[in-house]
């Protein structure tokens, strides 16, 4: 890992100039030419934590302020920090728990573990490990699930704030079909969510997501309360699960006989809108996809989870035909890795099972700019456009002997990115920067 000398100050603002191969996306490479910018010898100039300029080294070298901290990462690839749009921090310690399927896995491992998060000290301990593990894997922003306990959301917000990370979470809402020890009510869930919004939303780099677990664990009264809360706070996010597993879909049809479909349950309570993230979205029909697209809501595709729990295969052909706002997510602990590279690896294979070729360029776009756009934060994160917050990664194409050999054979940017996506994991992350400051990625993390 490169060590940095003390940063210079220009007019009171720290300026760093980072040299290396630089890649970022401006739009979806699946549908647009000129979707990305790439410089083999690039320079990223960061002032006061934000991107001041990006371009070729030759064109920008003259703009480096005298005394600026110049960091040489030549040979390595600099990309915006990854954005994971669906991950459960309270499931960190039950990752890799084998199960025949979603509903058994929830009852057997998830709910008993989530019970522990009523204890604020326990929650904060896991949140500290979790946020370090995200950084170690190059994830600088995530839409995170807490538990039903307000203290669990406090723990994650506080751990994120301590690391200056741009992060989102919310307390889970669940008032039926769950153990008593995890149950709130329509009234208490809405009140505690509103209190957490007042306390954390918009504070530093933090934001709130209204978080009904999934339709089976909320009464109609609770879903209605979620809709009201969303109307009262039109800039907060929404996250939930939809159409992940066949048994779950059947159960929802029994619980909500008047709804046209699983997605329609949420639609009836005004929970489809920009900034709403729907996890999984495997078993959708054509009308669901039209509604998702029209509403501006996003899909969090969770391929390692879908394979691990045997849930099913996300349909990329239909997703693209409807221009859905698809993003990539780990879904730890149903998902089996914190790494967005491992997630890309699985996404490529899930797409292959449907006869669809998911390119590496597209996968890097999905893990960065696509998620930023779905969050409405494209002016803040996900690219190196001037003014954006300088959260970025340095990737090592020679991180392991095998990756080095494959990288040397890569004759195109796509081939190099594909090698990262198929072979990469936390070992590829050379360093991580948050608002222009180097984070401790790669350092040993205490248990
Ligand atoms: N559906 C409802 N809760 C969960 C959860 O915690 N994980 C996953 N993968 N699906 C869910
Ligand atoms: Zn989930």
Cβ of 134 closer than 6 Å to ligand 1, yes or no, is: no
Q: Which residues lie across from 389 on neighbouring strands?
A: 50
> Could you tell me the distance, in angstroms and rounded to a whole number, from the CA of residue 428 to the centre of ligand 2?
26
Structure tokens at 63: 């703009």
Cα angle 98-104-110, degrees, rounded to a multiple of 5: 75
Q: Percent of the chain at pLDDT above 90?
A: 95
Chain centre distance of CA 379: 17
What is the average pLDDT across 9-33? 89
Cβ of 239 closer than 6 Å to ligand 1, yes or no, is: no
The owner of tokens 């006869």 is 355
CA nearest neighbour of 223 among 267, 257, 289, 288: 267
Structure tokens at 132: 């370090």
Indicate if the pLDDT at residue 3 is higher than 80: no
Can the peptide bond before residue 150 be classed as cis, meaning omega within 30 degrees of 0? no
- What is the C-alpha to C-alpha distance for residues 341 and 358, in angstroms, rounded to an integer? 14
> Could you tell me the distance, in angstroms and rounded to a whole number, from the CA of residue 363 to the centre of ligand 2?
20
Residue 90, SS3 per DSSP? helix
Residue 446, SS3 per DSSP? coil
Q: Within a 10 A sphere around the Cβ of 437, how many other Cβ atoms?
A: 16
> Could you tell me the distance, in angstroms and rounded to a whole number, from the CA of residue 334 to the centre of ligand 2?
7
- What is the C-alpha to C-alpha distance for residues 309 and 98, in angstroms, rounded to an integer? 8
Listed in sequence order, the residues at least 6 apart from 40 whose beta carbon sits closer than 8 Å to its beta carbon are 21
Residues 298/85, Cβ–Cβ less than 8 Å: yes
Cα angle 423-428-432, degrees, rounded to a multiple of 5: 145
Residues 375/237, Cβ–Cβ less than 8 Å: yes
What is the average pLDDT across 116-123? 98
What is the average pLDDT across 400-415? 98
Q: 3-state SS of 133-146? A: HHHHCCEEEEEEEC
Looking at 123-132, 291-300, 318-327, 433-442, which range is the least confident one? 433-442
Cβ of 244 closer than 6 Å to ligand 1, yes or no, is: yes
Indicate if the pLDDT at residue 254 is higher than 90: yes
Instruction: For 33-128, list the strands marked E by DSSP.
Output: 36-47, 50-56, 69-80, 82-88
| Minimum-distance ligand 1 atom for the alpha carbon of 244 | 10
Give me the helix-helix angle, 340-353 and 413-423, nearest 10°. Answer: 100
Indicate if the pLDDT at residue 5 is higher than 90: no
> What's the Cα-to-Cα distance from 445 to each of 12, 83, 129, 135, 230, rounded to whole Å?
33, 21, 7, 11, 37
Cβ of 127 closer than 6 Å to ligand 1, yes or no, is: no
> Could you tell me the distance, in angstroms and rounded to a whole number, from the CA of residue 162 to the centre of ligand 2?
25
Indicate if the pLDDT at residue 84 is higher than 80: yes
What is the average pLDDT across 340-344? 99
- What was the pLDDT predicted at 272? 98
- What is the C-alpha to C-alpha distance for residues 35 and 28, in angstroms, rounded to an integer? 6
> Could you tell me the distance, in angstroms and rounded to a whole number, from the CA of residue 85 to the centre of ligand 2?
10
Residues 366/373, Cβ–Cβ less than 8 Å: no
pLDDT band with cut points at 50, 70 and 90 for residue 22: very high
Q: What is the mean pLDDT of the chain?
A: 96
Mutate to test the pocket of ligand 1, among 93, 241, 247, 281 (most ligand atoms within 8 A of CB): 241
pLDDT band with cut points at 50, 70 and 90 for residue 2: very low
> Could you tell me the distance, in angstroms and rounded to a whole number, from the CA of residue 332 to the centre of ligand 2?
7
Residues 391/435, Cβ–Cβ less than 8 Å: yes
> Could you tell me the distance, in angstroms and rounded to a whole number, from the CA of residue 106 to the centre of ligand 1?
7
In order, the DSSP letters of 44-55 are: EEEETTEEEEEE
Q: Percent of the chain at pLDDT above 70?
A: 96
For residue range 370-400, list pLDDT tens digits in order.
Answer: 999 999 999 999 999 999 999 999 999 999 9
> What's the Cα-to-Cα distance from 225 to each of 70, 97, 148, 232, rounded to whole Å?
52, 33, 15, 10
How would you classify the pairing of strands 167-170 and 139-145? parallel
Indicate if the pLDDT at residue 102 is higher than 60: yes
In order, the DSSP letters of 225-279 are: HHHHHHHH-TTSEEEEEES--HHHHHHHHHH-TTSSSHHHHHHHTT--STTEEEE
| Minimum-distance ligand 1 atom for the alpha carbon of 248 | 1
Indicate if the pLDDT at residue 442 is higher than 70: no
- What was the pLDDT predicted at 444? 39
- What was the pLDDT predicted at 12? 57
Give me the helix-helix angle, 401-408 and 413-423, nearest 10°. Answer: 160
Query: With 0-12 CB in 10 A as exposed, 13-18 as middle and 19+ as buried, what is 99?
Result: middle
Cβ of 214 closer than 6 Å to ligand 1, yes or no, is: yes
| Minimum-distance ligand 1 atom for the alpha carbon of 145 | 6
Cβ of 331 closer than 6 Å to ligand 1, yes or no, is: yes
CA nearest neighbour of 350 among 292, 303, 290, 294: 303
Cβ of 102 closer than 6 Å to ligand 1, yes or no, is: yes
Residues 347/358, Cβ–Cβ less than 8 Å: yes
Residues 313/282, Cβ–Cβ less than 8 Å: yes
> Could you tell me the distance, in angstroms and rounded to a whole number, from the CA of residue 245 to the centre of ligand 1?
10
Domains and CATH numbers, the chain: 15-81+384-438 (2.30.40.10), 82-375 (3.20.20.140)
Q: Which ligand is nearest to the CA of 86?
A: 2
| Minimum-distance ligand 1 atom for the alpha carbon of 309 | 9
The owner of tokens 């292959």 is 352
Q: Going by CA atoms, what residue is nearest to atom 11 of ligand 1?
A: 241
- What is the C-alpha to C-alpha distance for residues 401 and 408, in angstroms, rounded to an integer? 11
CA nearest neighbour of 413 among 21, 16, 3: 21
Indicate if the pLDDT at residue 6 is higher than 90: no
> Could you tell me the distance, in angstroms and rounded to a whole number, from the CA of residue 334 to the centre of ligand 1?
7
> Could you tell me the distance, in angstroms and rounded to a whole number, from the CA of residue 102 to the centre of ligand 1?
7
> Could you tell me the distance, in angstroms and rounded to a whole number, from the CA of residue 335 to the centre of ligand 2?
8
Mutate to test the pocket of ligand 1, among 112, 211, 214, 302 (most ligand atoms within 8 A of CB): 214
Cβ of 88 closer than 6 Å to ligand 1, yes or no, is: yes
Cβ of 305 closer than 6 Å to ligand 1, yes or no, is: yes
Burial track 73-91 (b if 16+ CB lie within 10 A, e otherwise): beebbbbbbbbbbbbbbbb
Cβ of 86 closer than 6 Å to ligand 1, yes or no, is: no
Cβ of 173 closer than 6 Å to ligand 1, yes or no, is: no
- What was the pLDDT predicted at 10? 46
Cβ of 211 closer than 6 Å to ligand 1, yes or no, is: no
């Amino acid at each position: 890992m490169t060590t940095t000398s003390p940063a210079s100050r220009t007019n009171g603002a720290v300026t760093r100039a980072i040299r290396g191969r630089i890649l970022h996306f401006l739009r979806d490479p699946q549908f647009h030419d000129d979707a990305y910018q790439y410089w083999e010898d690039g320079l990223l100039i960061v002032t006061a934590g934000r991107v001041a300029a990006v371009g070729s080294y030759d064109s920008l070298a003259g703009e480096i302020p005298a005394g600026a901290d110049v960091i040489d990462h030549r040979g390595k690839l600099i990309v915006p920090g990854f954005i994971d749009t669906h991950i459960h921090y309270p499931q960190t310690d039950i990752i890799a728990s084998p199960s025949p399927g979603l509903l058994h896995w929830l009852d057997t491992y998830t709910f008993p573990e989530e019970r522990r998060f009523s204890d604020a000290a326990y929650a904060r301990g896991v949140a500290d490990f979790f946020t370090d593990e995200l950084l170690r894997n190059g994830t600088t922003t995530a839409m995170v699930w807490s538990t039903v306990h307000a203290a669990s959301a406090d723990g994650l917000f506080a751990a994120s704030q301590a690391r200056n990370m741009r992060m989102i979470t919310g307390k889970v809402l669940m008032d039926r079909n769950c153990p008593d020890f995890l149950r709130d009510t329509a009234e208490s869930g809405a009140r505690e969510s509103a209190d957490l919004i007042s306390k954390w939303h918009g504070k530093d780099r933090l934001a709130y997501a209204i978080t009904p677990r999934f339709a089976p664990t909320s009464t109609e009264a609770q879903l209605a309360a979620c809709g009201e809360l969303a109307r009262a706070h039109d800039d907060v996010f929404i996250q939930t699960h939809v159409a992940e597993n066949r048994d779950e879909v059947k159960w929802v049809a029994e619980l909500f006989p008047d709804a046209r479909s699983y997605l329609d349950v949420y639609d009836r309570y005004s929970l489809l809108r920009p900034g709403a993230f729907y996890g999984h979205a495997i078993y959708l029909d054509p009308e669901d996809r039209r509604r998702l697209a029209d509403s501006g809501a996003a899909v969090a595709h969770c391929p390692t989870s879908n394979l691990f729990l045997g849930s099913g295969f996300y349909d990329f052909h239909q997703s693209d035909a409807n221009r859905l706002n698809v993003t990539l997510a780990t879904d730890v602990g149903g998902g089996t890795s914190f790494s967005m590279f491992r997630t890309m690896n699985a996404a490529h294979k899930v797409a292959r099972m449907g006869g669809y070729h998911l390119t590496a360029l597209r996968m890097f776009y999905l893990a960065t700019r696509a998620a930023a756009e779905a969050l409405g934060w494209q002016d803040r994160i996900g690219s190196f456009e001037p003014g954006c917050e300088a959260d970025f990664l340095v990737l090592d194409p020679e991180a392991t002997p095998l990756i080095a050999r494959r990288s040397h054979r890569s004759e195109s940017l796509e081939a190099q990115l594909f090698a990262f996506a198929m072979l990469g994991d936390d070992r590829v992350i050379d360093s991580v920067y948050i608002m222009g400051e180097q984070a401790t990625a790669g350092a040993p993390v205490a248990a």
